[in-house]
Structure 1
Amino acid sequence: MLALTAIWIAMAAVDAAAEMPNLPFHAIAAKDTLNPPEEVSDDARHCLMGLVWPPTAFEVSCEPALPGNGDAVAVFPSPLPSGDPRNDRVSMECYFALDEDGTPITAPAVVVVHESGSKMAVGRVFARGFQTCGVHAFLIHLPYYGNRRSAEQRPDRKKLIDAIPQAVADVRRARDAVAAMPYVQDARVSLQGTSLGGFVSATSACLDSGAEGCGYDNVFLLLAGGNLMQVIQSGRKDAAKFRQQLQQSGLSLDQIAEIVNRVEPLRLAHRLNPKHTWLYSADYDQVVPIQNAIDLAHTARLDPSHHVRMLGNHYSGFVYIPFVIPKMAKVIHEN
């Protein structure tokens, strides 16, 4: 954890130095490119029906960022609204790659999906790390996190049910919001998710993976896997907290299983492009056991070189971040 703290301080210094006097844009027009390819599996087709929406045009607006939380905030409407106006305004913290003069450069981009912690600390480490590697990074706030949640708000039973598929849809629309932004090179947008964000990203990347001109260019999943319900039932620490939150909402285990199955990565992972998907796992992970990661890698048909196994657990694995980010950024620049 000391190593992670050092990384945080170093990257925060970069963020503080990058003071942008003007917002990089006011409002831009964007359009959904969601176009799921034909699916032969009845189960996968049924899963997709609950996660996709009719493509439409939408607007991305720009707002000032809070100190230390990037250069700006991009906001767009959720494609699967919950009926909560605050939650349905999807926020992304923008971390623009800069030249020596502090001016944004034209470069590829990555959408970063944070972990389950309310402070999104690891997500911000990744966003700042990509920024220093010359990649524009956009940290999306999942439903009822960050700007999408008031101080006194706690998701109730209905909100939790709606939030799970909404998160998957929001992450997919984020790709098209970012692709329309200034400074993003040739609409090249990749996806990176950690822990909870890794599960969400795994399913979101499957919605139209393989369709020409659609979806994310590269997908990087960290400390995630398949059999999400098994993780919720048996996983420790973060998984146990999530399980407790679901149970406190009054949901039975059967109801939780039904909800979670709506976004189960293994139902769709065969749709991932194995040449452009990487999974990073910890061999001694007690939150997302290694077998769950192996199951996802197998279903996604990942080559062993695309399933990177690290010595450590769900938390000590974060010390690999300084080595992982440059490798991911290299792939993003080259693909």
Structure 2
Amino acid sequence: MVKAKEAKEWAHESLRGNCSSLYTPFSGLDGDDIDYDALRALVRHCLVHLDQDGLWLTGGIAEFWSLTTEELKEVMRVTIEEARRVKPDALIQVMSSSDTAKQTVELTLHAQRLGADICYILTPYFECAGKPGVLEFLRYVADRTDMPLGYFNSQTTGLAMTPSECVELYREIPALCGLKNGLADAHHSLAIHRLEPGMVLWEANDEAGIRLGVPHPGALGAALYLYEKPGMKLYTEWRELLVQRDFERAEKFAEETGLAAMRAASRRYQAHPARPRTFTHWGAGFKFGASLLGLPIGDYPHSRPPQTAFPADLQAPIRRAYTKSGFIES
């Protein structure tokens, strides 16, 4: 188990690869239960059938805000146990954020005991006093845990740190060793890299960052299972071309295989019609995409409140994109 004081050195060697962010399969009346068998099957699909390098747990796609503390703990336990059983060296990343510092510590300690490799802390999303508040939140968690921590800078919280503020957080907290930039702004990432070249970072829009020359250790938290099947690992092949800076071939590959169309269609999972200018992790949308590929999503395919069901008029273009790509039959 890597200790906090070793975090930054560890990150340079280990914080890399293709890692899928898992959804939570709900079941029962109004999705009040969790289908843990479906969750185990999703873990096996990602780590065994797709041979991915690791997982991202209890994040936005997993609808962490809708899970109780006990559910979050059990999702961690089941997922980590299954991952270690089928692929012991998989990189296990947990988002242990909550709306309270004490609960975030409780969840981080739980992940630490289960053998997770790193926990990510999202910008506090209620009454946060700017960068000083974020710093105190991170310090509170770091002082009470002993493992690598990452910072998730996301516009979904309504408060995003500037590049200089991100670097200041990194330098202030010894356990803080990586940053997921959820702003979909490659120039923001480039500014961070120029201020602190040693900081491990990646972003939602990794193509733009790679084109700008920002080092990208991998797709460390994305729904890669939506674009890959055994024998058709489109996302992995496309991203490898980007890393090799063969941008012309990468663009041609994405167009010819249908990957570009699938990715464009799946952006519907990231914006709710009622909040068109706000980035959204629409859990039901991600699960709809997964269901097209035959992945288990539980018998309640929708999101828990306060999200809504994924409407039929948004499903049709996604289905067409998958059909055209050859991922599913018409």
- Alignment TM class, shorter chain as reference: 0.3 to 0.5
TM-score by length of 1: 0.33
- The structure whose residues are more often strand, as a share, is 1
Which structure carries more relative contact order (alpha carbon 8 Å, separation 6+)?
2
